[in-house]
């Protein structure tokens, strides 16, 4: 046990050094690239996130059947939502407000609204360039379309490695850390016991495979989102007269640049902007390259169909769930008075509104959010592990690494796990954002084909024989014939 504790200490020291030397400059560049890419796709797709938002609802609702072992579009949507809707919506929003102020919420909205177009682009590409494994399951994502369409396998491997570290290790450490914090606040549970329990529960799911992940997510996500939104709606209803004032404060504070961020381009960014974009990206993952891994697993007739479904996930995550959390916090009494942040701040806000029930309720709902995120994160990472080397021993070693970081996050401080997550998230996002901009002509082609069929009164179905040049770019003609 002493050896294991010493090993954990060495890991923490290594991560601290990595974050200290990489995070600041990297995020300066990432902010510009993230917003620029979102604006680029918003303009060049004719604001697809607005024009086709109603259609995305229909695609999601109708996509509940699939052939063979493939995930249904709805299961792929809920797997993506399982990773999106989690600690970022509860603890991440609170941290953004505590550090960046009320204006951080506005920048979370902006990240989501323009990022929805990036989400459409990356998930449509993932669908188009997906492959079928020996078990008859679809797999895909940025590592696949980077390797095939850009003919850059080295960059595909770099992306896959960054995603494995981000979702398999860093983000799962954040989730388990948040579960420990919430259960300690509510019930004073021992961190070691919670950590071991999480490892066991995670092992049960991840050794069951991606199909079990989809089945569990399809049941958990709607239930947990509904519970959380019901309590949020009750609180908002009780304080309906104050909502316009809250919205006004959020918008006015967003453009207060008196508290500047650090880094190379710190003079251009306020703390509100940086924290809103960081926590917004962590929460909704638009453009990060994560959700496409779930999008690719779905059995759909047109790549744009799943692109629209995953685009909807960004909207639900940030514009709906994160906003509910933000308003709950901003409606509470002196939310910044005790130097609280993260889960503790959200729990205090709920306790203010509904008494001690809020403390216990959030601990329970946080467990559902975070646990579903752990298994959703694992699904993303496993797909990329198999992309690099699809061997049982390699996958087993990765699964053991996931379980280690679930434990690591549970027994370490929140600062190191959040900082580590931010850094690897930025690396991963930068690779994917560059790739989807380079592949923009293919995104436009997919969208044009989809819209033309809609205008003709047809249910869109992609026919690869109409686009033989795409076969030369690596599209599997057997999948799309």
pLDDT digits (tens, 9 = 90+) for 453-474: 999 999 999 999 999 999 999 9
**pLDDT tens for residues 339-371?**
666 788 888 888 889 889 888 888 888 887 788
Tens-place pLDDT, residues 269-297: 677 888 888 888 878 888 899 889 888 98
Residues 432, 414: Cα–Cα separation, whole Å: 27
Mean pLDDT, residues 8-24 taken together: 82
Please list the alpha-helical segments (H only) found in 299-413. Answer: 303-314, 323-330, 343-354, 356-388, 392-411
pLDDT bucket at 10, cuts 50 / 70 / 90: confident
What integer pLDDT is reported at residue 67 of this predicted model? 57
Closest CA to 366 of 170, 187, 118, 193: 187
* 433 pLDDT higher than 70: yes
User: Which among 163, 148, 107, 122 is positioned nearest to 37, based on CA atoms?
Assistant: 122
The SS3 call for residue 131 is strand
Residue 28 buriedness (CB in 10 A; 0-12 / 13-18 / 19+): buried
From its phi and psi, is residue 412 left (phi > 0), alpha (psi between -120 and 50) or beta? beta
Q: How confident is the model at residue 267 (pLDDT cuts 50, 70, 90)?
A: very low
Compute the mean pLDDT over every residue in the chain, rounded to the nearest whole number.
Answer: 85
Q: What share of the chain is helix, strand, coil (3-state, %, to 5)?
A: 80, 0, 20
Give residues with Cβ within 8 angstroms of 164, minimum separation 6.
Answer: 381, 384, 385, 398
The structure tokens listed for 109 are 């909205």
Q: Which of 88-97, 111-120, 134-143, 350-359 has the highest mean pLDDT?
A: 111-120
3-state SS of 159-189? HHHHHHHHHHHHHHHHHHHHHHHHHHHHHCC
pLDDT value at 41 more than 90: yes
Cα(106)–Cα(272) distance, rounded to whole angstroms? 9
Contacts of residue 396, Cβ cutoff 8 Å, sequence gap at least 6 = none
Candidate from 328-337, 391-400, 402-411, 436-445 with smallest mean pLDDT: 328-337
This prediction's pTM: 0.86
Give, in words, the CATH class of 25-473: mainly alpha
CA 221 to chain centre: 14
pLDDT in tens, 79-96: 666 556 667 788 888 888
The rounded distance, in Å, linking the Cα atoms of 17 and 24 is: 13
User: Mean per-residue pLDDT for 2-30?
Assistant: 81
Query: Can you tell me whether residue 71 is helix, strand or coil?
Result: strand
Find out whether 329 and 344 touch, Cβ atoms under 8 Å. no
The whole-number pLDDT of residue 82 equals: 59
**pLDDT at residue 213 tops 70:** no
């Amino acid at each position: 046990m002493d050896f294991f504790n010493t090993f954990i200490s060495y890991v923490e020291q290594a991560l601290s050094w990595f974050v200290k030397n990489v995070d600041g400059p990297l995020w300066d560049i990432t902010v510009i690239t993230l917003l620029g890419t979102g604006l680029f796709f918003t303009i060049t797709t004719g604001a697809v996130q607005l024009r086709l938002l109603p259609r995305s609802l229909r695609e999601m609702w109708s996509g509940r059947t699939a052939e063979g072992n493939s995930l249904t579009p709805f299961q792929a949507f809920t797997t993506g939502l399982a990773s999106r809707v989690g600690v970022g919506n509860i603890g991440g929003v609170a941290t953004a407000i505590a550090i960046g102020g009320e204006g951080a919420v506005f920048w979370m909205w902006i990240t989501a609204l323009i990022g929805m177009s990036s989400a459409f682009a990356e998930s449509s590409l993932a669908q188009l360039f997906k492959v079928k494994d020996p078990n008859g399951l679809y797999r895909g994502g940025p590592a696949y379309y980077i390797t095939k369409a850009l003919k850059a396998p080295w960059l595909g491997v770099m992306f896959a490695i960054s995603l494995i570290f981000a979702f398999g290790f860093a983000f799962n450490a954040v989730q388990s850390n948040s579960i420990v914090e919430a259960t300690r606040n509510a019930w004073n549970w021992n961190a070691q016991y919670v950590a071991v329990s999480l490892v066991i529960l995670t092992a049960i799911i991840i050794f069951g495979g991606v199909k079990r992940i989809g089945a569990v997510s399809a049941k958990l996500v709607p239930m947990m989102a509904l519970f959380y939104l019901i309590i949020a709606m009750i609180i908002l209803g009780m304080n309906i007269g104050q909502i316009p004032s809250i919205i006004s404060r959020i918008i006015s504070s967003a453009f207060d640049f008196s508290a500047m961020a650090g880094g190379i381009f710190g003079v251009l960014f306020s703390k509100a902007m940086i924290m809103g974009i960081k926590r917004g990206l962590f929460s909704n993952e638009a453009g990060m390259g994560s959700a496409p891994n779930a999008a690719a697993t779905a059995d759909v007739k047109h790549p744009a169909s799943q692109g629209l479904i995953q685009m909807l996930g960004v909207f639900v995550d940030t514009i709906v769930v994160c906003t509910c959390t933000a308003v709950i916090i901003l409606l509470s009494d002196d939310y910044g008075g005790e130097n609280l942040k993260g889960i503790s701040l959200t729990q205090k806000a709920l306790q203010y509104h509904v008494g001690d029930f809020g403390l216990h309720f959030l601990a329970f709902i946080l467990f559902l959010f975070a646990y579903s995120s752990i298994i959703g994160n694992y699904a993303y990472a496993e797909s990329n592990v198999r992309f690099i080397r699809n061997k049982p021993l390699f996958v087993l070693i990765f699964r053991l690494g996931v379980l280690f970081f679930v434990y690591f996050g549970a027994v370490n401080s929140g600062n190191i796990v959040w900082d580590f997550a931010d850094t690897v998230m930025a690396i991963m996002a930068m690779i994917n954002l560059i790739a989807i901009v380079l592949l923009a002509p293919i995104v436009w082609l997919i969208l044009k084909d989809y819209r033309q069929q809609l205008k003709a009164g047809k249910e869109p179905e992609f026919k690869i024989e109409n686009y033989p040049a795409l076969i030369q770019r690596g599209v599997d003609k057997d999948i799309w014939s």
